[in-house]
Amino acid sequence: MDNLKTIYEGFKNLVLKDEKVEQFAEVKLRICYECPFRKDLRCGKCGCFIAAKTRSSSKCPEGKW
């Protein structure tokens, strides 16, 4: 259930922009786009869409953020 909540949170924040969330997401996105595990628009470790994951309260599976 926790995973569903963070997935929903990430997509909600992707659609309904919040300045504070976007500031943190920008930093996380830069880290993700340089990560060797990235597979196009998804995290190669957990399979999440990076744009949504970086806008949620979930953690990087590699501990990078």
End-to-end Cα separation, the chain, in angstroms: 22
The pTM for the full model equals: 0.84
The domain ranges of the chain are 2-53
pLDDT (tens digit per residue) in 6-63: 889 999 999 999 999 999 999 999 999 999 999 999 999 999 999 999 999 999 999 9
Looking at residue 18, what is its pLDDT?
A: 94
60 within 8 A of 31, measured Cβ to Cβ = yes
